[in-house]
Amino acid sequence: MSSSDRRRYPKLKKKGLPEHKELVTQDDWYEEAVKLEDGAERWFLSDIRKTLKGYSEAMVAYERALNAENSNAEDTYNIHYNQTRLLLKIYTDYANVDGYINLLQYVNLDGLDLSSVITSIETIVTRFETVLQAYPEKVGWDFLFNTLISYYTFIESENNTSGYALISTLEHFISHFHHLINLELELLESEERSDNVDEAFEEAQFQRDNLAEQSKINLNTGGGIKTREEETAKTELALSTEAFDKEVMTDSLALGYKLVYEVMATICRTENLKDEMLLNIAQKNYLTEMLSKFVPQLDEMAANLEAHHPHNFSELVTIKKSIESLKWIYQRDLESFLKSLDNSDKEGLMSNVELLELAVETFPPEKSWEIRTHLSKTLANLQNILAKEQSDIITGRIKNKDNELSPIVFKLCDIMINRSDNELYRCMIKKAELDQHAEPHTIKEGHLKTIEILERNATTLLTNAKDIAHRSCGFSEYITDKLKRNYIFGQATLRLQMLESTSTALPEDLEDHPYYQALHSAVIRI
């Protein structure tokens, strides 16, 4: 379950350095690193090469800070915090966008040494764990949240994850998750107390003058007058929690549910592979037992948060429904699974696509036509919703959303390509039925007609997706969104070239699709 909108919390900053100061101490290099990272982020929306160059220079400065003189534990922890957060940011923003797209392949990186900032998710997870072990008393909720994101990203992006890796990741996630929630609850209670103090202070402003209080002030010496330090003490507390709010707890709970979903889905996928080397029965049972204890804990936390701190919980509702549907896949109950799918909104439909694709892999082949037909309808509904959103922005019916056009175009084209792939899968099912059974002539004609329609639909969807992805999304388009649009344009083009027999090479992305495999084999024979 993709989590492209997940939060990552910002770097820890210090006061600025005087201009042209010689960099000697840890404090000097720490400030320089933060300055370089800030400079890199100014290019984030427009120039990936400059951004990565700045990030690389910042990482070098962070390393210099760790080895500089006059070091202290607080700054050393903060530097490690910034390094791990930056590595995770680069991985999810560029190397593994939406869990599967590497945008760096579309960027000219010649002449840049990015070895310090581009690394594997396994390495990033290890670095987070190393900092946690080295500074257990210093880590805060934000570092823990980023650590949990690294665990989730590992499970989401890795294929054929071993049972050992699943168990280890889930154990660490649950342990740190409880620590995170405890810290967040403390902060939430602290904020509420602070709010109550603010309300009492405001009420006091409108009370009648208290001459007794005023008489305590010595107008000659200034005694009794509150100092600036006293006035700002409460403000400093607020600054220490300025990025924290109720939404953070909702994000944390959503991340917990998403990891549950990914672990359950991974178990299903490894079972389909029937590879005991990846996941054996004992490991599956242990994972299932851990999840059976963790999910009720999540439910209780979510219920308490909703009862005492009302907020928008739509994301939690969607992911919880997805987990309930996934349980029916677990139990191999197709009828109950299809009935459980949430078709009420776009988010529910997007989740259904993932669930149905997993169901195709899990249920017996004779159920594939029913599942893929359901998937076809779901994708068609999503396409209509996204096409309307695209039209509303282009025509101006929705104002001030120009920068959202490109992400919508990407999703729309992705859905259309997915729908095309699904039509060709359905086509192969009908072709297999023709080959395996001696059907009456009228039934054969019906199958041939269905195959023709499905092939025509697939080609039309790809042609339209290619055309939509090729159109400019205006000056407000972010560079990462433009590269994602280029990626999806390339995906549509590859498929069309195969269908039109203008390419004899089978792209890696299509190696597992039986229709394109058959086309490739036919071309090779010719």
Q: Does residue 438 have a pLDDT over 80?
A: no
Q: Is residue 466 part of a domain?
A: yes
The pLDDT assigned to 224 comes to 46
Give the Cα separation of 219 and 216 in Å (integer).
9
Q: Minimum mean pLDDT among 178-192, 259-273, 439-453: which range?
A: 439-453
Could you tell me if residue 131 is inside a domain? Answer: yes
Query: Residue 225 has what pLDDT?
Result: 39
- Lowest-pLDDT range of 8-17, 91-100, 115-124: 8-17
Q: What's the confidence (pLDDT) of residue 196?
A: 57
Q: Which of 138, 163, 186 is the last residue of a domain?
A: 138
Asked whether residue 172 is domain-assigned, the answer is no
- pLDDT confidence of residue 214: 44
Per the structure block, which two tokens stand in for 172?
């660490």
- Structural domain count, the chain: 2
- All residues at 6 or more sequence positions from 321 whose CB lies less than 8 Å from its CB, including other chains: 340, 342, 348, 351
CA distance 398 to 58: 40
Q: Environment class of residue 400 by beta-carbon count within 10 Å: exposed (0-12), middle (13-18) or buried (19+)? A: exposed
Instruction: Give the whole-angstrom CA distance, residue 354 versus residue 203.
Output: 53
Mean pLDDT, rounded, for 141-164: 92
Tokens 């992400």, residue?
407
Side-chain-facing half-sphere of 292: CA atoms under 13 Å? 6
Interval 108-136 mean pLDDT: 95
Q: What's residue 195's pLDDT?
A: 60
Per the domain annotation, does 245 fall within a domain? no
Under DSSP, the state recorded for 101 is B
State the residue range of the domain holding 83: 22-138
- The string of pLDDT tens digits covering residues 362-409 is 999 999 999 999 999 999 999 999 999 999 999 989 888 888 999 999
* DSSP-derived secondary structure for 173-226: HHHHHHHHHHHHHHHHHHHHHHHHHHHHHHHHHTSPP-HHHHTTS-TTT-TTPP
Q: Is 61 contained in some domain?
A: yes
Q: How far apart are CA 5 and CA 28, in angstroms?
A: 34
User: Using one digit for the tens of pLDDT, what is the confidence trace for 30-89?
Assistant: 999 999 999 999 999 999 999 999 999 999 999 999 999 999 999 999 999 999 999 999
Cα–Cα distance between 380 and 386 in angstroms, integer? 10
Helix-strand-coil percent breakdown of the chain, rounded to 5? 75, 0, 25
- Angle, vertex CA 439, rays to CA 438 and CA 441, nearest 5: 120
Which tens digit of pLDDT belongs to each residue from 188-244? 888 777 665 555 555 555 454 443 444 444 434 444 434 434 433 332 322 234 477
What average pLDDT does range 477-486 have in this prediction?
96
For 269-293, how does the pLDDT look when each residue is reduced to its tens digit (9 = 90+)? Answer: 887 666 667 889 999 999 999 999 9
- Residue 281 is which amino acid? I
Rg (CA), the chain: 28
Identify the residue whose tokens are 């690394």.
Answer: 119
Which of 110, 138, 166 terminates a domain? The answer is 138
- Return the pLDDT at 437: 64
- Supply the pLDDT for residue 210: 47
For residue 289, being part of any structural domain is answered with no
* pLDDT at residue 403, as a whole number: 87
Q: How far apart are CA 231 and CA 515, in angstroms?
A: 71
In a domain, 410, yes or no: yes
Mean pLDDT, range 475-482, rounded to an integer = 93
Q: Is residue 113, in this structure, part of any structural domain at all?
A: yes
pLDDT band at residue 411 under the 50/70/90 scheme: very high
30 and 127 in contact (C-beta within 8 Å)?
no
352 vs 326: CA distance, rounded Å? 10
- Alpha carbons 2 and 410: distance in angstroms, whole number: 14
Domain boundary among 103, 138, 173: 138
* Residue range 349-356: mean pLDDT, rounded: 97
Query: What average pLDDT does the chain have?
Result: 86
Instruction: Give CB contacts under 8 A, 24+ apart, made by 313-317.
Output: 313/250, 314/347, 315/250, 315/254, 315/347, 316/250, 316/253, 316/254, 316/257
pLDDT-derived band at 525, boundaries 50, 70, 90: low
Model pLDDT for residues 329-349, shown as the tens digit of each residue? 999 999 999 999 988 899 999
97 pairs with which residues across the strands? 101
Average the pLDDT over 430-436 and give the result.
Answer: 85
